[in-house]
Amino acid sequence: MIPSAFAYERVQTVEQAVRALQANPGAKLLAGGHSLIPLMKMRLATPTRLVDISGIRELRGVWKKDDRLVIGALTTHREIATDRVVRTHLPALAEAASRVGDLQVRNRGTIGGNLAHADPSSDLPAVALAFDAVFDVLGPEGMQTVPIDGYFLGPLVTALPENSVITAVSLKLPPSGTRSTYVKYPHPASGYAVVGVAAAARVEPDGVIDFVRVAVTGAGDVPYRAQAVEDALLGQHVSDDLIREAAAHAADDGSISGDLFASEAYRRHLCSVYVERALRKVLSRG
């Protein structure tokens, strides 16, 4: 399969990338290419120009800034999965990145491309939602920040302003003592998430849950925060029954739909099963 013809340019700075997008209405950014090139090969995307940002050095890397973990947009899934800072401070993100596709895909795909593409079955959106991600974005109007809340508008549709480049994604570090995880039911053929759950929680010494985050990807038209699950847990004493009852609300906040592989009812059921598994991992003692 061969994409339709296009022009190609490499840019060295984010400013050049923005200018190239503005000057060429049919242009698209190219990062790792692992969402865009497959679409172009099937001619589901036919950009007239690719603006390759993969050589922009400053868009790579992970660093801590105040209470946030900042991840350069071009940082690959593999780099995130193996990064010591990520593994220490946000294990859920490292786990999610390590579950993306396969070894070859993780060598190429980037966090910026993953979240810009906004495939509803992608893994990273669940983690981004659970930890209040904020995008640093450069556009024609200059630098701005875009919060994750309200970012995912529909399958492959986001609130990212036109002709703009995500330079970094920052995630809010949870309070110390929080445990976090990402669990996933991969589609047996594609490997994408049929359901993926990011969860984080902290339990006080007296057994009361004083911090909890749960977000779900894969099951719905857009990934979502499972607010109803969080509400059922926050301020409560951990118990087996509590976890089960809370997990029963896993699909409440999503707009869940069925497809050829999994019916709506089955997906709702999977949401509860995987939210429960994630909660058991972060709430079990020892």
Partner 1 sequence: MEATRMTVTVRVNGREYTRAVEPRLLLVHFLRDELGLTGTHIGCDTSQCGACTVLLNGEAVKSCTVLAVQADGAEVTTIEGLGDLSHLHPVQEGFWEKHGLQCGFCTPGVIMTAAGMLAQNPNPTEEEIREGLEGVICRCTGYQNIVRAVQYAAEKMKGAGAETEVAAAGADASAGGDA
Which residue do the tokens 């920052």 mark?
A: 170
CA angle in degrees (0–180, nearest 5) for 139-79-38: 65
Phi-psi region of 75 (alpha: psi -120 to 50; beta: other; left: phi over 0): beta
171-186: b or e for each residue (b if 16 or more CB lie within 10 Å)? bebbeeebbbbbbbbb
Do 216 and 223 contact (CB within 8 A), yes or no?
yes
Closer CB to ligand FAD, residue 24 or residue 236?
Answer: 24
Q: How far apart, in whole angstroms, are the C-alpha atoms of residue 113 and residue 156?
A: 11
**122: which residues sit within 8 A by CB, 6+ positions away?**
100, 114, 115, 192, 193, 217, 223
* Cβ-based nearer residue to partner 1, 123 or 136: 123
Q: How many angstroms separate the CA atoms of 70 and 89, rounded?
A: 12
Nearer to ligand FAD, 117 or 268 (CB): 117
What tokens does 39 get?
């679409």
Which one, 137 or 247, has the nearer CB to partner 1?
247
Q: Which of residues 181-210 bind ligand FAD (CB under 6 A)?
A: 191-192
Query: Which residues is 141 bridged to in the sheet?
Result: none
| 260 contributes a contact to partner 1 by CB under 8 A | no
**Of the listed pieces 101-109, 139-147, 223-231, 262-270, which binds ligand FAD according to CB under 6 A?**
101-109
Size of the site for ligand FAD (CB under 6 A): 29
23 contributes a contact to partner 1 by CB under 8 A: no
In this structure, are residues 233 and 248 in contact, taking their beta carbons and an 8 Å threshold? no
> Is residue 179 close enough to count as binding partner 1 by CB under 8 A?
yes
Determine the straight-line distance between the first and last CA of the chain, rounded to whole angstroms.
Answer: 52
DSSP state for residue 223 in the 8-state scheme: -
Instruction: Give, as ranges, the residues between 215 and 254 that touch ligand FAD (CB under 6 A).
Output: none
Site mask for ligand FAD (CB under 6 A), range 149-168, x = bound: ----------------xx--
Taking CB within 5 to 8 Å according to partner kind, which of partner 1, ligand FAD, none is near residue 181? Answer: partner 1
CB 54 → partner 1: shortest distance, Å?
7
Q: Which residues bind partner 1 (CB under 8 A)?
A: 1-8, 30, 33-34, 37-38, 40-41, 48, 50, 52, 54, 78, 81, 87, 91-92, 94-95, 98, 101-105, 107-108, 179-181, 189-191, 281-282
Q: Which residues bind ligand FAD (CB under 6 A)?
A: 28-36, 38, 73, 100-101, 105, 108-110, 112-114, 116-117, 122-124, 165-166, 191-192
